[in-house]
Copies of this chain bind each other. A is one copy, B any other.
């Protein structure tokens, strides 16, 4: 489709792409005044992703006002760009006919992304408003398991028989009635529709018309099974610098294509999930969650942490008599536990990352474990010595200095072991190792730290 309008850089008062203060203030003013004309004028130059950000940043009340004032101007792409949590909220405010119209304009993979999280009746309501071809495409995508290549791919592909020449392929493209909005390769297929190679459009445009396509295929060619986990898809794109890759069904027949921009979105989401999970936050948390939702999303892990903290307190309670006889132990014991918790978190984070990037495998596991334990021993020795000095000067009891040094040394080693073995075990059990978050590793370090420090004190000091 010819298009003469140039959309320019987003409104921003700096170079870093954040929405400008002036713009947001103007929009809020327009909402207050119910001034539809100004609202549309202000948001017209914005990319749908920026309008989605705007919706995420304003209050729930202003959000509702904006969607209502927007009316039929509401663009389907804004829905695609919204956080999952907010999307349902916004869709509930949209009038049914505006919603239907907004969704109808989207590409099938974006529609899948929007409807897959809805409940059955809401999903049905949207599917019914689609044109037949789109509805079939969306339904077929939904037949693949969640978070797989089949859900991620676009079904519209550009392919050519493997025996064609550059000229034949070029003529085909020029005469094709409808081509996908974005595509980067012509996929060569054999007579059974099995993809056998990719030709870039640049190669196609610059090569001689008589050359067979098989002479200009890309060196690297990666085919993705439709049932592959989207996390692995993103990994493949990142690892092999893919731009687009054909997706095949179990009979190796071409069923769709995934492009790098979709893979980049998945990579970003997977990172977000990891980072939130490691901190013990529900991985769908977003700033626009209500207070109650946010509190719930964090309470689960706080509850797990409470149980493990009580367990650690139980260890202290075992040595209540010891602590009662020497209050310096109560003063110093949090240092042993805190240093252990920190070292454990460091090792755990490195391990979770290494598992995600497939740098930690069965082949090098033992070497990495040995390395982590050695690192723990080195830092344990260093900080044990420092703390021996501090405790010696502070409380003037040489034996206490020795006890804290030994306890810290051993706790750092335990922290290293916990930090690497817990995520590795979870990975083996097919549980996301990022769930080896705070609570698990710090339980190990707290329990070991308190037990060693107070246990050694009970035997050596009193």
| Residues of A in contact with B (beta carbons under 8 Å apart) | 2-9, 15-19, 21, 24-25, 47, 49-50, 53, 56-59, 170, 173-174, 176, 179-180, 182-184, 196-197, 200-202, 204-207, 211, 214-223, 225, 228-229, 232, 235-243, 260-261, 263-265, 267-268, 271-272, 274-276, 278-281, 285-287, 291-292, 294-295, 298-299, 301-303, 305-306, 309-310, 312-313, 316-317, 320, 323-324, 327-335, 337-339, 342-343, 345-346, 348-350, 353-354, 358-364, 367-368, 371, 374-375, 378-379, 382-383, 386-387, 390, 438-439, 442, 446, 450
Contacts and interface: CB of A to CB of B under 8 A. Distances in A.
Contacts of A174: 205-206
Contact of A378 (B183, B292, B359): B292
A320 B327 contact: yes
A387 B302 CA distance: 12
Contacts of A58: 363-364
Contacts of A312: 334-335, 338
Nearest to A158: B202
B346 A331 contact: no
Contacts of A343: 298, 302
A167 to B, nearest CB: 11
Given A298-B343, A298-B379, A386-B306, A281 B349 contact: yes
16 contacts: A3-B216, A19-B358, A50-B239, A57-B363, A201-B201, A238-B268, A264-B264, A271-B271, A271-B275, A287-B350, A302-B342, A302-B383, A309-B338, A313-B335, A320-B327, A334-B337
B47 A240 contact: yes
Contacts of A57: 359, 361, 363-364
A232 B281 contact: no
